[in-house]
Amino acid sequence: MKEVTKDVILDLLPLYLAGEVSEDTATLVKKYLESDPELAEAAKEMAKADSLGKVPIPFRKEAAVETYQEAKKWMTIRILGIAAIIGMILMCLFLAIGISLTADGLAKAFIH
């Protein structure tokens, strides 16, 4: 069997650190890391950086309340905006109907 190269270990390293390799592959990577202290140190740093991404963000009640109030404010603004648009549409509709009725009334008054 051919000797495993550093490139192969580098390809396997993310899977190894995630615990997604077989026992045989894990043994192979471990042995290689024992023989290459520089890569072993890099693997430790990668594992540390990866584990930092898995730390849950602490829940703060103040932040949750602040986020809720901000969302509520924007929902109110949106509702008021939609109401204003609907109001303008209705006003234009009633205005058009009123002008139409007035025009019909004026036309009838001048014709008769």
10-19, 29-38, 47-56, 75-84: the lowest-pLDDT one: 47-56
d(CA 92, CA 88): 6
Alpha carbon 71 to chain centroid distance? 16
Token output for 102: 């007035």
Residue with tokens 């898995």: 54
pLDDT at residue 50, rounded to an integer: 66
**pTM > 0.85: yes or no:** no
Please determine, for residue 25, whether its predicted confidence score (pLDDT) is greater than 90: yes
Question: The dihedral of CA 57, 61, 62, 68: what is its sign?
Answer: positive
Tell me if 32 sits within 8 A of 45, measured CB to CB.
no
Residue 16 CB neighbour total at 10 angstroms: 21
For residue 8, what are the contacts with CB-CB under 8 A and spacing of at least 6?
none
